[in-house]
Chain A
Amino acid sequence: MKATRIAGDITTVREEDAVRRVMTTVQQELDSPPALTASQELPLTVIRPSRGRIALNLRELWEYRELLYFLIWRDIKVRYKQTLLGVAWAVLQPFLTMVVFSIFFGNLAKVPSDGIPYPIFAYTALLPWQLFSRALTESSNSLVANQRLITKVYFPRLVIPISAVLGGLVDFGIAFVILIGMMAYYHIVPTLAVLTLPLFLLLALATALAVGLWLSALNVQYRDVHYLTPFITQFWLFATPIAYSASLVRYRWRGLYGLNPMVGVVEGFRWALLNSPATGTRSLVLISAAVVGLLLIGGLAYFRRMEKTFADIV
């Protein structure tokens, strides 16, 4: 049994398991009779052309969690190497954007902000937005950026876009400290609603991953994606209530508006942190979550289907 444990980075599946039939590229099974020789204790891997539907194989992904950890760790370590300001960039990016927004939209255009001071109104939205847009950009480029890995080593390819999405969390955490400072400055005391914040954070990450999976897999074959992504994030920024309030959108259009999952995220952040009016926020969030769910399932299916060709095409 020891050998099986050592070989733990491969999923162990029973012979009769349906997963085995369902095309998994690779399956493992334990020999049923207890073995005398060491070889019989070793897990068996069968490699064959995949056919039909593809199992998600989350268990294998779990076995590779250390690799996921190291890839995230690498991205964080490398991000601000050889920069003068270092980690300060994590704060400067949303902060300077907030300043620009406050001057142009808050002061000059006098965009209504639901009665909340405009700077914190914008900053609260910019935090999840920057997390999202960075995660989207990084993940859609992740497979191409890691092509050396893909063509030289085996591991579940999902590790790569997932690590790209999660890599932005540290920056988010650092920038969040500024938000706490701003809340103190504006004397905003969060209610218990703040406990729901992780859900909105999760929704933002899931949105980025869902779209990132599609784009990263497409990017392997069509490098057009590389040029497309900046436009996507730019348009998406305007379609999300960051510089303005969602209440500007007419009520009858709100269902359609909610199809953009980031609307739910941003409104959720403002509601959880700034006690902004919750009118219609719940239905928005539900629509957003449903959209993300569908996108994510489709993205995972597409990614898994394309996965086997990555090493040949990238």
Chain B
Amino acid sequence: MNNVSIRAQKLAKLYRIGQRESYRLLRDVLADAMASPFRAAASVFDDRQGNELRSTDDHVWALKGVSFEVKQGQVVGIIGPNGAGKTTLLKILSRITEPTEGQVEIRGRVGSLLEVGTGFHPELTGRENIYLNGAILGMKKAEIERKFDEIVEFSGVERFIDTPVKRYSSGMYVRLAFAVAAHLEPEILLVDEVLAVGDLAFQRKCLGKMEEVSHEGRTVIFVSHNLNAIWSLCPQTLWLDTGQIVDFGESGRVITRYRQHMSRLSGVIPEQDILKRSNDPLRITNFRLEDLEGNPCASVPSGGAVRMVLDYVSDPAVAGKRDVYIGIGVSNEMGQRLFSLSNRFTDQQLSEMASQGQFVCTVPCLPLVPGQYDIKLACQIQGGESVQKVHLVGALMVREGDFFASGRIPDSSFGHVLVPHSWSQRSEASWNLEGDRDAETSDH
């Protein structure tokens, strides 16, 4: 295939542990040189790193046996826990560091964005930094001049363009820096987690700009912890863990597997937690999603019905108590609470508790756009001191569904929440009549 943009074969990268922290002192080298002067002299120009590589105890493979192919125009997200080798992979692809083994073939000019504002100088003005940063990112002077106005406009710091950037607020700084980067036009764009900075509105703008870039047929590799961003931007996702590829393919599948794996790691209420709380009179021991037929499900379509089922264990002492309140909080990936479900709101009593049983909360129509949501739990016995709060008991995966029964599915850029609504028209002449009718219906 000729339209392969990146082909990595058995990439591996070895790091010496502590390499970054401890500088080798000249003293040590001189001591070595005294001990064996000839070998020391030869080693200055000797390319082999020799025995150092062989011992494995103080070395760590940041990447090991990583092979994959990315076609031209593909947008690929890279996910994985910290230390999975995501940034190392980007650094190899952008030639900042060299692989220890394996090779990569790259077709096209590579632009990398591992950090916003690389090379920004605080003493220089915004205008000067645009030129400097552009040149550092690989733009030609003529190219920067051509795009200058566009960059300034995108950044929204027109008024301060001749002010040294050390006087900028951090938000302005980031906006200006990203504006330059967003106007890079390489065939292949490598982006590390750089959107974590900046306010939400600007993040959205950047994501939009990246989406634009991907539609222009450019290959984009995007590393992020923001799974929703990956999901909405990247049709393909590569999951790295401890330097190896766990899965690579269609984003929905990979991200779902990743989330399941991660929540297994963090535990849907880990066993130890439950045991530790064994003196709580009421304990939630498990959480799962079911459809209306009672089948467990991994994801729910937008607008679909879902039952949230909570297994509990309670002491005989509270078995007969009536005032039990359960709360379920649903948050987006940024940790913002979108809505909460509680029997306190609906004023429904969960009475007649057995020593073991289930609380079931039914949501007939889930008003969320496709994406990944976090679920938190809390339960409380009225008048009692017992409050169990569980952070992140699990993930709620929402897949595409025909919420509006129209076949139109909005994505998260229109907001996370879907509200049932309808539209009608009226003319001036029928205004009063229509208004009256509205008033009438709302009375009922």
Q: Do A and B bind each other?
A: yes
A44-B105, A70-B131, A78-B123 known; A39+B96 contact, CB < 8 A:
no
**Contact yes or no, B25 A222, CB < 8 A:** yes
Rounded to whole angstroms, the CA-CA distance of A283 and B105 in the bound complex is 52
B37 contacts chain A at the CB level, 8 A cutoff: no
- The 0/1 profile, CB within 8 Å of A marked 1, for residues 87-111 of chain B is 0000111111111111111111110
| CB contact under 8 A between A308 and B97, given known A66-B135, A154-B112 | yes
Return A19 CB to nearest CB of chain B, in Å: 16
Q: How many of chain B's residues have a CB under 8 angstroms from any CB in A?
A: 55
Asked if B109 and A10 sit within 8 Å, CB to CB, the answer is yes
Cβ of B42 under 8 Å from chain A: no
Residue ID in chain A nearest B95 by CB atoms? A154
CB-contacts of B234-289 with A (<8 A): none
Contact status A153-B105, CB under 8 Å: no
Q: Of A7, A26, A47, A313, which is in contact with the most chain B CB atoms at under 10 Å from its CB?
A: A47
* Complex CA–CA separation, A223 to B28 (angstroms): 13
Task: Verify A47–B92 contact, CB threshold 8 A.
Answer: yes
Among B44, B95, B138, the residue within 8 A (CB) of A47 is B95
| B361 contacts the other chain (CB 8 A) | no
B172 is an interface residue with CB less than 8 A from chain A? no
Tell me, in angstroms, the Cα distance from A6 to B110 when the chains sit together.
12
Interface residue A81 (Cβ < 8 Å from any Cβ of B) = yes
Contact B72–A39 (Cβ < 8 Å)? yes
A311: chain B residues at CB < 8 Å are 91, 96-97
- In the assembled complex, the Cα of A54 lies from the Cα of B121 at a distance in Å of 33
Q: Is the CB of A153 within 8 A of B119?
A: yes
Interface residues of A in 145-169 (CB under 8 A from B): 148-155
Give bound CA distance, A237 to B121, whole Å. 33
Write out the residue numbers on chain A whose beta carbons fall within 8 Å of the beta carbon of B323: none
Question: Across the interface, which residues of A come within 8 angstroms of B187, CB to CB?
Answer: 3, 7, 42
Q: Does B96 contact A151, Cβ atoms closer than 8 Å?
A: yes
* Contact B97 A221, beta carbon cutoff 8 Å: no
How many angstroms between the C-alpha atoms of A48 and B104 in the bound complex? 7
A31: nearest chain-B partner, CB-CB? B2
Q: Which residues of B contact A52 (CB under 8 A)?
A: 47
Given A25-B95, A39-B3, A51-B47, A67–B105 Cβ distance below 8 Å? no
With a cutoff of 8 Å between Cβ atoms, the chain B residues found around residue A224 in the complex are 25-27
Residues A37 and B123 in contact in the complex (CB < 8 Å), given A51-B47, A305-B47: no
What residue of chain B has the Cβ atom nearest to residue A45's Cβ?
B106
Smallest CB gap from A70: residue in B = B135
Q: Residue A312 at the B interface, CB < 8 A?
A: yes
Establish whether residues A46 and B103, one from each chain, have CB atoms under 8 Å apart when the complex forms. Answer: yes
At the interface, yes or no: B124 with Cβ under 8 Å from chain A? Answer: yes
Known: A74-B124, A148-B119, A302-B44. A47 touches B98 (CB 8 A): yes
Residues 113 to 135 of chain B near chain A (Cβ within 8 Å) = 114-115, 118-119, 121, 123-124, 128, 131-132, 135
User: Does B19 have its Cβ within 8 Å of any Cβ on chain A?
Assistant: yes
- Quick one: CB contact mask for A1-43 with B, threshold 8 Å, 1 for yes? 0010011011000000000000001100000000101111011
Residues of chain A at the chain B interface (Cβ within 8 Å): 3, 6-7, 9-10, 25-26, 35, 37-40, 42-54, 66-67, 69-70, 73-74, 77-78, 81-82, 148-155, 221-225, 301-302, 305, 308, 311-313
11 CB contacts below 8 A, A to B, read: A44-B105, A47-B104, A49-B101, A70-B135, A77-B123, A149-B119, A152-B96, A154-B94, A154-B110, A155-B138, A312-B19
What 8 A-B pairs have minimum CB-CB distances, sorted nearest first? A48-B103, A70-B135, A224-B26, A42-B108, A154-B95, A7-B109, A45-B106, A47-B104
